[in-house]
Chain A
Amino acid sequence: MTASSGLDSPATATEGQPPLIEVRDLVKHFGPVVALAGVSLTVRAGEIHCLLGDNGAGKSTLIKTLSGVHRPTAGDFLFEGKPVRFSNPREALDLGIATVSQDLAMIPLLSITRNFFMGREPVKNRLGPFSFMDMGAADRIVHEDMRRIGIDVRDPQQPVGTLSGGERQCVAIARAVHFGAKLLILDEPTSALGVAQTSMVLKFVRQVRGKGLGMIFITHNVRHAYAVGDRFTVLNRGKTLGTFAKSQIKLDQLQTMMAGDKELQELSAELGGTV
């Protein structure tokens, strides 16, 4: 698959517009536990914004707040310049904030097509209480989408379980894109994948950016983040340590910042910065 060079550069035509999503000093408490203690983040259309942080840094809480699962305790939350407050994930989804979670919301035994359109089946015609699925159109859409990803010459009716992990991830992302996501939250899309599978997913993520979608790429693998990210926000103990454009920061600096703790930094240095 050859991605054309136009797809690779971040879209910069969105400067004048308000960012897709903007949160300022976001705070989230669960009873006495302070999960987020003032997080600020902006994501523009056409950028891949990497959210880095170790376990317990608040990544999950942040994305669950952004996607409408949790309601923030305090702070500003704007979508396309307008303040929003979601009472459930459906509302966020309707605005175009889609989350591709680690479990992918895919059923291995079902065909790719059935998974792709699960809950949003294309209807051809109705007879009494039954709406007939337009399976032909659904298969064509899936086949076309898969071809674009680079999973060609495969049967859209084959079970998702027969796909590799990377392919499954790509299908889940393609599904969100197809159903009109503006902001895509990718939760650790590469954490369980091998090298070849990872590069496949990263390539596809870059391709999706070319369509002008904004993406939040959550990972604790700095290398994966640096490979595709335009900007990086590091989260530590419920706070943002800052946001950096790719030109401002190097891979090892990012690694160091993420490691946070001094001992960990030393250990990381000892191990050659590969942790």
Chain B
Amino acid sequence: MQCFGFTAMAESSSAETVAAGRRDERLMRQSRLRKFLGRPDLGALSGLILVFVFFAISARGTGMFAADGVLNWSTVSGYLMIIAVGAALLMIGGEFDLSLGSMIGFAGMMIALPTITFHVPITLSVLLAFAAALTIGFLNGLIVVRTHLPSFIVTLASLYILRGLMLALSILFTNRTIVGGVKEAAEGTFVAFLFSGTIGDSLFAWLADHDVIGRLPNGAPSVKGVPMPIVWALAIAFVGHIVLTRTKAGNWIFASGGDANAARSVGVPVDRVKIALFMLTAFCAAVFAACQVLEFGSAASDRSLLKEFEAIIAAVIGGCLLTGGYGSVIGACFGALIYGVVQQGIEFMQVPNDWFRVFLGGMLLIAVLFNNLIRRRIMSGR
């Protein structure tokens, strides 16, 4: 809307100066093109389109684009999206969180252990796990802003501490590294619905009745409903995008990541912003953990290894600069979607899974080069 107002103004001013009128118009068109090309999520959008076109052609007839196939890759994407949004906002704010993957495992164990070994009500365990994750996020942030150490090294320490702690606690209390039985304990509770339920079941039943989607052998619709991880992903992405682009807090995030000193000198509470962002990524990790534990019914010590890098990759493919101050939540969502589509698409085509990593690495490299190009163009000025 803003650009329409601006266009109107620009046109009226070019009408006043007849001689310069034509030149102004040319400048306008160029700047609008530049504006479009300068969008941080443009690269991810084109990547996503390419990936869709590729699989639409080459994975034809594999069921990848049938209802249950779509559910398959969109769930994978949804899970990643939950943490990619957190990672992207933190990266725009100028920091990293390498402990993200360990945090997921740790929070998962914090849900499963008390529930199974001490018979703590699942609702309470989930609340406890969120509180623990937020506290650790707060500590990560506090250490980074107080010591001015790179967040890379601080959160690398957290990565090891959390991964080790989770393993040690699990062995200590259960003598195993997998704690199961959570599904039974959570049966019928609201938290079970909140993190592992589905919504829109009746819509999908209706779609199956009208033969829009297929049915399972037992007669149930091939897709029961939209799984909660996807709902969480979309909700977190929506809120993240609005906060980043429309609010004062969003402006502070950009400013803190762009140049912390400049931001401080005009009164932006940089430290508070960064700590809040570390807490946000911890929150996202806890949501991921709750969905995972309640869906699979167990917490396992080797879960979510390397998830921190996947989240960072999604954010970078989405146009976030590693140096901070630039990026978009929508881009990170596109990045997560590319990840899910390619990973599952390769599976549908029965190509060995190793190729997925090759693709991912290549994609990351291209994205970084592309982002660097954009940044250099912006920084060099005219």
Interfacial residues, chain A to chain B (CB-CB below 8 A): 89-90, 101, 103-110, 114, 117-121, 123, 129-133, 135-136, 139-140, 143, 147, 152-159, 161-165
A121 to B250, CA, bound (A): 10
- Asked if residues B382 and A164 are in contact (CB atoms below 8 Å), the reply is yes
- Asked if residues A107 and B267 are in contact (CB atoms below 8 Å), the reply is no
Interface centre among A101, A157, A165 (most CB of B within 10 A): A157
Chain B residue contacts of A155, Cβ below 8 A: 3, 6, 31, 35
- Asked if residues A109 and B326 are in contact (CB atoms below 8 Å), the reply is yes
- Asked if residues B246 and A133 are in contact (CB atoms below 8 Å), the reply is yes
- Asked if residues A135 and B2 are in contact (CB atoms below 8 Å), the reply is yes
Chain A residue contacts of B3, Cβ below 8 A: 155, 157
Interfacial residues of chain B within 222-247, with CB under 8 A of chain A in the complex: 243, 246-247
Whether, in the assembled complex, B258 has its beta carbon less than 8 Å from a beta carbon of chain A, the answer is: yes
- Asked if residues A131 and B381 are in contact (CB atoms below 8 Å), the reply is no
- Asked if residues A119 and B266 are in contact (CB atoms below 8 Å), the reply is yes
Interfacial residues, chain B to chain A (CB-CB below 8 A): 1-3, 5-6, 9-10, 13-14, 24, 27-28, 31, 34-35, 38, 243, 246-252, 254-255, 258-259, 261-263, 265-268, 321, 325-326, 375, 378-382
A27 to B340, CA, bound (A): 66
Partner of A157, one of B2, B248, B267, B381: B2
B contact face: mostly helix, strand, loop, or mixed: helix
A152 to B31, CA, bound (A): 13
A135 to B246, CA, bound (A): 7
- Asked if residues A143 and B6 are in contact (CB atoms below 8 Å), the reply is yes
Chain B residue contacts of A107, Cβ below 8 A: 254-255, 258-259, 262-263, 325
Known contacts A107-B255, A119-B267; 9 additional CB pairs below 8 A are: A104-B262, A106-B262, A110-B258, A118-B251, A121-B251, A130-B247, A132-B247, A132-B248, A156-B6
Chain B residue contacts of A161, Cβ below 8 A: 378-381
Total of A-B residue pairs, C-beta within 8 Å: 116
A117 to B268, CA, bound (A): 11
Partner of A143, one of B9, B246, B254: B9
- Asked if residues B14 and A132 are in contact (CB atoms below 8 Å), the reply is no
- Of chain A, the residue at the smallest CB distance from B268 is A119
A147 to B14, CA, bound (A): 12
A36 to B310, CA, bound (A): 56
A107 to B260, CA, bound (A): 9
Q: What are 19 A-B contacts defined by CB distance under 8 Å?
A: A105-B265, A107-B258, A107-B262, A109-B254, A110-B254, A118-B255, A119-B267, A121-B248, A133-B246, A133-B248, A139-B2, A153-B24, A153-B28, A157-B2, A158-B35, A159-B38, A161-B378, A161-B379, A161-B381
Chain B residue contacts of A157, Cβ below 8 A: 2-3, 35
Q: When A105-B266, A118-B266 are in contact, do A123 and B2 touch as well, CB less than 8 Å? A: no
Q: When A139-B2, A139-B6, A158-B35 are in contact, do A118 and B248 touch as well, CB less than 8 Å? A: no
B302 to chain A, nearest CB (A): 37
Partner of B13, one of A129, A153, A159, A165: A153
A121 to chain B, nearest CB (A): 4
